[in-house]
Amino acid sequence: MATIQERVNAKGDKSYRVQVRLRGAAPETATFSKITDARRWAQQTEADIRAGRHLKSVQAERHTVAEMLNRYEAQILPKKSDWAEGQSFQLQWWKERLGPYTLAYVTPAMIAEKRDELKATPVKRGKTERPRSASTVIRYMAALSHAFTVAVRKWGWLDDNPVRKVTKPTEPRGRVRFLSDVERANLLAACGKSKNPCLYDVVLLALSTGMRRGEIMNLTWDAVDFQRRMITLEHTKNGERRAVPLVGPVYNALWERSRLRRIDSPYVFPARLRYGKEPKPIEIQNAWLVALKRADIKNFRFHDLRHSAASYLAMNGVSLPEIAAVLGHKTLAMVQRYAHLSDARTSKVVERMNQAIFGGESEQREQGGSQ
């Protein structure tokens, strides 16, 4: 129960000392200048203690956003493999703006204000600046939201995730840019003439399998099984193992590469090893941009090679669930963008269904109508 004691100082000013004592819980004490505030605090504190919420509210007042993000980076990010570096950069942005505040002080309105600031801040690419896209803002918010979720569920530092109550920007419809037959031939020809010894095989692997750039560049020989004609990716973006079939010209290309592979690096596409340095994958960005220019291909990014592979699958009659399995998506939402490319297959499926249900009846009616 709660007790309220009225106190008067030498100047005659009144204050109210509140103490809440409940069995099984440590006593809580606070002082207020108004009796109404004292009663309200006593009532809320009693309710929180009975409901088991009070400890979390105390923890939320003890820990700052910076403490939460630092612990998250130390304990959670290392488990995210190749995507840890990008999220670490995003969390640093939040830390610079919200770091000093306690978790109890952070509100959805405060996060929404920083969301708008993030969206309004342009990104510098070389000498040019461009506004941040809605997709980028969403990724920043997702990084912060997961940190709060861990603090709620694993560490018990607060009751709820404030990011959950903040509206996310509307993400534009997923882009589908894939290479035409002519563009594909021109790009591969340009890559074949590149001074970069790995570029052609890297692009061929992306087009043949739909693997992500990070998955390709960090590919090691122990993940390649020539006997089973399979690449096994242990660490993927969605956190699950994925098997990637290795067939066609890319199989032969990697087989030839394996016969001359370097013994000082585990990578399939290794960089030149410098004395005293750890092995790293080769850098292809400059060579990639040169190849695009030589092939006269506009408005095309490396990630669009993955879109190209998915588009080719759709146009060759592969179903959306099968495309999702090849690309490593957990849901069909990410592959719906390719649905329009499989319209011909959909028409054939409906045609077979009508043939099975109505048989020759529909054909007879069509013939009768044409006479």
Q: Is the dihedral of CA 82, 87, 89, 95 positive or negative?
A: negative
CA distances from 305 to 55, 208, 209 (A): 51, 9, 9
Residue found under tokens 């840019």: 177
* Nearest residue to 141 via CA among 167, 102, 123, 121: 167
Report the 3 state secondary structure along the chain.
Answer: CEEEEEEECCCCCEEEEEEECCCCCCCEEEEECCHHHHHHHHHHHHHHHHHCCHHHHHHHHHCEHHHHHHHHHHHCHHHHHHHHHHHHHHHHHHHHHHCCCECCCCCHHHHHHHHHHHHHCCEEECCEEECCCHHHHHHHHHHHHHHHHHHHHCCCCCCCCHHHHCCCCCCCCCCCCCCCHHHHHHHHHHHHCCCCCCHHHHHHHHHHHCCCHHHHHCCEHHHEECCCCEEEECCCCCCCCEEEECCCHHHHHHHHHHHCCCCCCCECCECCCCCCCCCCECCCHHHHHHHHHHCCCCCCCCCHHHHHHHHHHHHCCCCHHHHHHHHCCCCCHHHHHHHHHHHHHHHHHHHHHHHHHHCHHHHHHHHHHHC
Residues with a catalytic annotation lie at: 212, 237, 303, 306, 329, 338
Q: Structure tokens of 56? A: 């979390």
